[in-house]
Structure formats: C-alpha cells, structure tokens
Amino acid sequence: MSREKGKTPDFIDTAKVYLRAGSGGDGCSSFRREKFIPYGGPDGGHGGRGGSVYFEATHNVNTLTEIASHPHIFATDGSPGKGKKMEGLSGKDILVYVPCGTLVKAGGKVIADLKTNGQRFLAAKCGRGGRGNVSFKTKFNTAPHISEKGEPGEALEATLELSILADVGFVGFPNAGKSTLLARISDARPKIASYPFTTLNPSLGVIRHKGSSFVAADIPGLIEGAHSGRGLGVQFLKHVLRTRLLVHLVDPQGFKDCTPEQSVRVIARELKEFHPQLAKKKRLLAVSKSDLPEARKVFTALSKKFKKQEIFLISPFTGAGTRHLLDAIIRLLPQIKETEVFAPKKEPDKGLVNKPLPTGFIVGHSADGIFELTGEKLLKIMSMVNFSQPDSLNRLRRIFKLIGVDKTLKRHGVRAGETVRIAGKEFEWTEEIPRDRAKKNTKFAYKYEEH
C-alpha cells in the first residue's frame, strides 16, 4: 500500500513481527539454617515460568496497522526462586489481537490461519522455570548443591498477512463500478470517483436480501499482469482467495485498449495465474452501467460468447438489474462449500534460524575440525545447566551417558584428549582405566569457555 511521508496509512494488510517469549527464572540453591534445627536440608525454590506470546482473532480489529507500528513483541521473563521454598513469579503472557482472516507465516509456510472470532494461536512458547535444589534431594544425596537455570523462551520471526473474509468478491478492471455497486446494495461507503484506481483498499459490506445476508468485498481494480505484482495486484488478489463466489463487473466501454470481451478473459487469466483455486471458483458476469447506450449491445455479445456463465445487465448507479443479481447470489451461496486454501503445516519451522535443529542430536565436524553435537534436546539441556556448581556438572555427565551421547561419540571415533563442542561449550573426552582394568570408563571432563 502507498505511504505518504509522515502519515500512517489507514489500511495495512501485511506486517513483519519479531516475537520472543519470556525465559524461565533460575532455580535457587539454598539450605535451611535455623537455630536449634540441626537437619534443615535444602529449601531452594523453583524459578517462575516466562510469559508466552499469543495471537487471537477478533472482529474488533480491521487492519494490521497497530502491529506494523510496533513489530517487536517481547514477553517478560520469570523471576528466580528463593530460599524457604519460595517460587519465583511467572512472566506475564502477551495477547496480540489480529483481524479475522490473518495468516501467520514463518519460513515461507503458513503455521496458523486465524479465521474465527476468538481463535487463539500460541506463537512463542515460554520457557519453564529452573528447579531449585529441593527437587534434587534423594536418600543418596541429602544435601544437593544443584539447581537449574531457567529454560529460554522461544523466538519467532513471522509475517502476518490479512486475507479478508467475505462470501462474495467484486472483481474487474478499474472504474468498472464495483465500489458504486457495494454502496448501492449495502451500508458500506467506499470512496467513489470517476477516475481509475479510486479504491486503494478492499472494502467490506453486509448485504441483506430476501431474508438472507452475506458479506461482499470490493476488491480494488485489477489490471493485466496483476498476478505478478503489476499495479499492486498481488496485494489485492490475495483478498479474493477466501471468497466463495466472484462477481466480475464488466465496463461496456472497456478499459484503455482492452475490449469488454478481452477484459473477461484477462481477469480470468489473472485469477488463474495467481492461484489455481481461483480458477475453480464460481464466477458471475455483470455488465455494469446499463444506462450507457452500448451496454445492451455488449451484454448481448457476451451472452453469446460465454454461454456457460450467468450474465447480468445492471446499473450500480440507478440500481437497475441488481435485484436479479442478488437473487442469483443468495441462490448459489448455499450450494458452494468453503474450500481450505491456507492449510497450516503440522510441523512449522519456528524460530529465528533458517533450518530447524533435530529433536534428538547429530554428530558432525565444525569448520575448525572439532566434534560438534547439535540438536534441540541438547540445547535445552545445556541452557539449563548451572556450570558454576560442580554437582551440576556431575549430573550433566550422567545425563550425557543416559541419552547415549557417550556411545554415539565412541561410534564416530572420538579419541582421548579430543575436544567436543556442545551448544557453544567445549568438553574434553577422556578415558580413565580403573585399577582392576576390568573395563574402560569413558567420561567427559568440562574444559573451558562458552562462545
């Protein structure tokens, strides 16, 4: 959409947003120390969870203007736990309201299609709070110096696209009478003028006729090449996708060098080129401006040329013939089923990275020749380890052995003294031989720095 300097447009149907859910609070490692109470034990509380980011469709919002003006949406983090088993406060969830018909895209794929009022989508999930040392007390370890860091919240870079919801879409070349027709048969008041491209934004109107009602959308004028973006065509054509029925208004005077007959074929081709689903939609032809002398002649010619289509002769200005057109619309709409054009993927590519990490882990070599383990599971484990606590490091070694990291590295030929990098931290692989030499005991020794 066009944007004047210093002025925010009234209608924005695309917005890029940057979301980040809140991270969980760190768990606390503390012990109960009170006079005359000898065996206090661990009493470190858990950290609070972070806040999540949700999108919710509502009828009370019509455009994405507000979101486009504030694209960075960050939820708050959870508070850390404290002694005396006190849990940290949870972060506050953020609820972002979007118009009905909003698509949420990430990585070029549709991950959510918010069509109905009140429909909610979890866009960025919060991180859980880290556990305090009270959770790690066992009969073998009655005084654990172990606590977890909070889990990081999810991050998402997404694109919101509004595809308006309407039963009927009015399409055609500029200045064909679409806005005038919508104003005639509904309470909508779109901008109307005698020059082309008067309508710059889609307009919606509710039409009531013979006890039935439906929503119609006035789609701004399309021209040849609209499917490839000419004349802002792509921005307009996407609003036709959800309509169940199309009404093509034909100007009997044609448009520039295009005759009325050619205009019918051009619009049909543009719809098909933009999306195959549009070529399958039921389409009615309506020769507008019946008060012009050549209108009747054009109507007769089109009736002979396109015998399989219903054609009407109407005048949006006087209202002549509009009743017959509305009769056909309310007769056809109940017979047309709504098709699912935008199907969300079952496993969306979420996050700020281009390629999703595997849910388990894989072993590879980095550019500097170091063994490197990557995986969503490992990243989550490593992000919650408190490396300042020796007991936490010992627990991490046991986790690595439990999930099969040791066996996998040995299978890939790792040797003693070699460095293994996991989630930015480097470990040294060692093989210790017990005194009885019965078997080798392989383990990690934490080496140094975080990158």
pLDDT digits (tens, 9 = 90+) for 15-54: 999 999 999 999 999 998 888 877 788 999 999 999 999 9
At 332 the pLDDT is: 92
> Roughly what angle, to the nearest 10 degrees, separates helices 322-332 and 178-185?
80
Instruction: Assess whether 123 and 176 both reside in one domain.
Output: no
In a domain, 312, yes or no: yes
Mean pLDDT of 203-229: 74
What phi and psi, each to the nearest 5 degrees, are found at residue 22? -75, 145
Instruction: Assess whether 25 and 122 both reside in one domain.
Output: yes
- CATH code of residue 422: 3.30.300.350
- Are residues 193 and 221 in contact, defined by beta-carbon separation less than 8 angstroms? no
- Quote the number of domains for the chain: 3
Domain span including residue 153: 14-162
In a domain, 351, yes or no: no
At 61 the pLDDT is: 87
pTM of structure: 0.75
Instruction: Assess whether 69 and 204 both reside in one domain.
Output: no
In a domain, 343, yes or no: no
Between 222 and 147, the more confident residue is 147
- Tokens for 319? 């209202």
Instruction: Assess whether 235 and 125 both reside in one domain.
Output: no
Instruction: Assess whether 209 and 111 both reside in one domain.
Output: no
pLDDT digits (tens, 9 = 90+) for 300-345: 999 998 888 899 999 888 889 999 999 999 999 999 887 766 767 6
- CATH code of residue 289: 3.40.50.300
In a domain, 341, yes or no: no
Instruction: Assess whether 139 and 287 both reside in one domain.
Output: no
Instruction: Assess whether 36 and 83 both reside in one domain.
Output: yes
Mean pLDDT of 131-157: 93
At 50 the pLDDT is: 96
Banded pLDDT at 56 (limits 50, 70, 90): very high
In a domain, 122, yes or no: yes
* Most trustworthy range by pLDDT among 148-157, 192-201, 425-434: 148-157
In a domain, 82, yes or no: yes
Angstrom distances, CA of residue 43 to CA of 33, 134, 147, 174: 10, 5, 11, 73
At 337 the pLDDT is: 82
Instruction: Assess whether 297 and 386 both reside in one domain.
Output: no
Instruction: Assess whether 368 and 280 both reside in one domain.
Output: no
CA 128 from chain center: how many Å? 23
pLDDT digits (tens, 9 = 90+) for 398-436: 888 888 888 888 888 888 888 888 888 888 887 654 444
* Most trustworthy range by pLDDT among 44-58, 191-205, 212-226, 371-385: 44-58
In a domain, 111, yes or no: yes
Instruction: Assess whether 111 and 231 both reside in one domain.
Output: no
CA angle 218/209/173 to nearest 5° reads: 20
* pLDDT value at 370 more than 70: yes
Instruction: Assess whether 156 and 187 both reside in one domain.
Output: no
Mean pLDDT, the chain, rounded, equals: 81
At 449 the pLDDT is: 40
- Among residues 198, 191, 202, 200, the alpha carbon closest in space to that of 175 is found at 198
Q: Which of 130, 162, 194 is the last residue of a domain?
A: 162
* pLDDT value at 272 more than 70: yes
At 200 the pLDDT is: 54
- CATH code of residue 77: 2.70.210.12
Instruction: Assess whether 182 and 126 both reside in one domain.
Output: no
Q: Which of 162, 186, 203 is the last residue of a domain?
A: 162
At 271 the pLDDT is: 81
Three-class secondary structure of residue 20 per DSSP: strand
Q: Which of 113, 136, 162 is the last residue of a domain?
A: 162
